[in-house]
Structure 1
Amino acid sequence: MSTFSIIGGGIAGASIAYHLAKANHQVTVYDRLDKGQATSASAGIICPWVSQRRNKKWFRLVQEGARYYPEFIKELEEWTGLSTDFRRNGAICLFKDDHIQQLAYERISAKQEGSPEMGDVRKLSKAEVKEMHPHLTDTYPAVFVEGGGQIKGESLLTALKKGILLHNGKWLEQDISPRDCEGTVIYTAGAWAREYHQHPMVRHQRAELLHLKINGELPDGETPVVMGLGPMYIVETAANQFAIGTTHEDTEDYSITPSRDNLNYLHGEAERYFPDTPIEDQFISVGLRPFTRDSLPYIGHTEDGIFIVNGLGSTGLTCGPVIGREVAAFLNGKETKLNLEDYAY
């Protein structure tokens, strides 16, 4: 049995702690409950195959993350008795015209051979989009990805925390310096990492997500995730309730006060995608997303022996669980499926 101290209770720290505690190690998580934690504020979309990013190291990570999800969630929910609100409800990816739709279909479906977990991929006409998601605009054709899904970050963290405690780990709501920790120190402080460590260099973006309610009946069952034009997306959070986002603002501060301009912008986007349905704004959630060089997560030791995981960015909920699995295996001296040297740049 080894001793591990993990600083930061977001998705990376919680997942690493869970997998280490499951392997019978002595684990303590220190989380000071910073406002603006990216995991809790995220929409939680799990659909990495539609991304146009060409970074192969990044794609291998998120691809393995999506592949691991069903097994990971099944085990976690059975062990804790808690729901993580994980849904594999598919993803509707909208495109501005038929030509772009065809190019996207070819690009996305080409990944099926290496990612069978993404399921069926097919083109949807405007009418088929409307049939699948009746309140959604019928302005755009789409590509449907069967394996796409979503998870509620806050619910996942709650389940992970319980799982850690059930495996005899500790979760302390307090601040601590890496110098004062016992055993191997794992530093997963997200946007706040520069307070104690300058390597890797971490920057952060302020992202806002509008939660809203629509008036009108939806069909039985869950609506798919919607990947809109550009960076816009929509997820169903409850019956007749959705979240739409997101804004991306590079910042040096840590304010989580919602912006009136961004509220107006997101409300306008909601009216664009739900043109025939009255919309009632509920609240805006604000998250501070950490990024490292080339937007590629950093996973590895620093010169002073601290093990750092940071820079998960906008796909933290996709890759966080598998990072936990891989880091636990690595620190246990076991074989990993991913080459973690790819992320220890």
Structure 2
Amino acid sequence: MSTFTIIGGGIAGASIAYHLAKSNHDVTVYDRSDAGQATAASAGIICPWISQRRNKKWYSLVTEGARYYPDFIRELEAKTKQSTDFRRNGAICLFKDKHIQQLAYERISAKQEGSPEMGEVRKLTKEEVKKMHPHLTDYYPAVYVEGGGQISGRSLLNALKEAIIYYGGKWINQTIAPDSCEGTVIYTAGAWSGEYYSNPDVRHQRAELLHLKIDGKAPMKQTPVVMGLGPMYIVETDLNQYAIGTTHEDTEDFSITPSIENQDYLHGEAQRYFPDTEIHDQFMSVGLRPFTRDSLPYIGYTKDGVFVVNGLGSTGLTCGPVIGREVAAYLSGKETVLNLNDYAY
């Protein structure tokens, strides 16, 4: 049994702690519950196959993350008896015109052989869009990805914390300096990483989501995730309630005060995608997403002798659980599925 101290209780730190504690290691998590934590504010979409990013190391990480999710959630929820709000409810991807729809269909479906967990991929008729998501506009051509899904970051963190304690780990809500920790230090401080270390270089973005409620008859079943034009997305949070996002702002500020301009912009986007319903804004959520070089997560030891995991960016909830599995295996001297040297650049 080894001793590990983890600084930062977002998805990376919590997942690593869970997997280490489950392997009978002595684990303590220190988390000061900073407002603006990316995990808690995230919409939690899990659908990496639709991305057009060409970074193979990033794609290997997020697709392995999506592959791991069902087993990971099944075991976590069975152990804690807590829901993580994980749903494999599919994803409707909208496109500007039929030409782009066809290109996207070919690009996405070509990935099925290497990722059978993504399920069926098909183009949707307007009638099919309305059947799957009665509130959604049918103006844009769409592609459906059966394996797409979503999770509540906040619910997932609560379940992970419960499981860590169940397996004998400790979760302490306070700050601590890395040089005063016992055992191997795992530093997962997200956007706040620079308070102690400058390596790797971590920058962050403010991402804002609008939570809203719409009038109208609620669908009889859960609606799929919607991937809109550009970076826009919509997830169902409750009956007739949705979150739409996101805005991105590179910043060195740590303010999480919502922007009225961004709220107005997102409200307008909601009207675009839900044109036949009345929309009532509920609240804005703001998260500070950490990014590292080439927007590729950093996973490995630094020159300071600290094991760092950071820079998960907008896909933190997709890859966070599998990073926890892989880091726990690596630090326990076991074989990993991914080559973590790819992320210790």
- TM-score under structure 2 length normalisation: 0.99
Q: Would you say 1:331 and 2:331 are equivalent positions? A: yes
Query: What count of residue pairs does the alignment treat as equivalent?
Result: 345
Q: Residue by residue, what CA displacement relative to the aligned partner does 1:290-339 show, whole Å, maximum 9, x if unpaired?
A: 00000000000011210000000000000000000000000000000000
Q: How does 1:154-233 map to 2 (within 5 A)?
A: 154-233=154-233
Q: Would you say 1:309 and 2:306 are equivalent positions? A: no
Q: Would you say 1:320 and 2:320 are equivalent positions? A: yes
Secondary structure of 1:62's match?
A: helix
Q: Would you say 1:105 and 2:105 are equivalent positions? A: yes
Which residue is equivalent to 2:276? 276
Cα distance in 2 between the residues matched to 1:276 and 1:282: 19
Which residue is equivalent to 2:18? 18
Amino acid at match of 1:176: I
Q: CA deviation at 1:173?
A: 0.3
Secondary structure of 1:246's match?
A: strand
Cα distance in 1 between the residues matched to 2:140 and 2:128: 10
Q: How does 1:236-315 map to 2 (within 5 A)?
A: 236-315=236-315
Amino acid at match of 1:24: N
Secondary structure of 1:247's match?
A: strand
Cα distance in 2 between the residues matched to 1:180 and 1:107: 50
Amino acid at match of 1:124: L
Cα distance in 2 between the residues matched to 1:126 and 1:264: 28
Cα distance in 1 between the residues matched to 2:304 and 2:46: 35
Amino acid at match of 2:330: F
Is the CA contact 1:191–1:204 (under 8 Å) kept in the aligned structure 2? yes
Q: CA deviation at 1:138?
A: 1.1
Q: CA deviation at 1:222?
A: 0.4
Q: Residue by residue, what CA displacement relative to the aligned partner does 1:1-23 show, whole Å, maximum 9, x if unpaired?
A: 10000000000000000000000
Q: How does 1:109-124 map to 2 (within 5 A)?
A: 109-124=109-124
Cα distance in 1 between the residues matched to 2:8 and 2:26: 16
Q: Residue by residue, what CA displacement relative to the aligned partner does 1:10-58 show, whole Å, maximum 9, x if unpaired?
A: 0000000000000000000000010000000000000000000000000
Which residue is equivalent to 1:35? 35
| Unaligned stretches of 5+ residues in structure 2 | none
Secondary structure of 1:294's match?
A: helix
Q: Residue by residue, what CA displacement relative to the aligned partner does 1:254-311 show, whole Å, maximum 9, x if unpaired?
A: 0000000000000000000000000000000000000000000000001121000000
Cα distance in 2 between the residues matched to 1:303 and 1:282: 46
Secondary structure of 2:247's match?
A: coil
Secondary structure of 2:79's match?
A: helix
Amino acid at match of 2:246: T
Cα distance in 2 between the residues matched to 1:207 and 1:303: 31
Amino acid at match of 1:39: T
- TM-score under structure 1 length normalisation: 0.99
Identity of aligned residues (%): 80
Cα distance in 1 between the residues matched to 2:131 and 2:171: 46
Q: Residue by residue, what CA displacement relative to the aligned partner does 1:113-167 show, whole Å, maximum 9, x if unpaired?
A: 0000000000012232122111101110100000000000000000000000000
Is the CA contact 1:65–1:320 (under 8 Å) kept in the aligned structure 2? yes
Cα distance in 1 between the residues matched to 2:239 and 2:322: 30
Q: CA deviation at 1:219?
A: 2.3
Runs of 4+ with >4 A deviation: none
Q: How does 1:4-153 map to 2 (within 5 A)?
A: 4-153=4-153
Is the CA contact 1:129–1:141 (under 8 Å) kept in the aligned structure 2? no
Cα distance in 2 between the residues matched to 1:115 and 1:329: 23
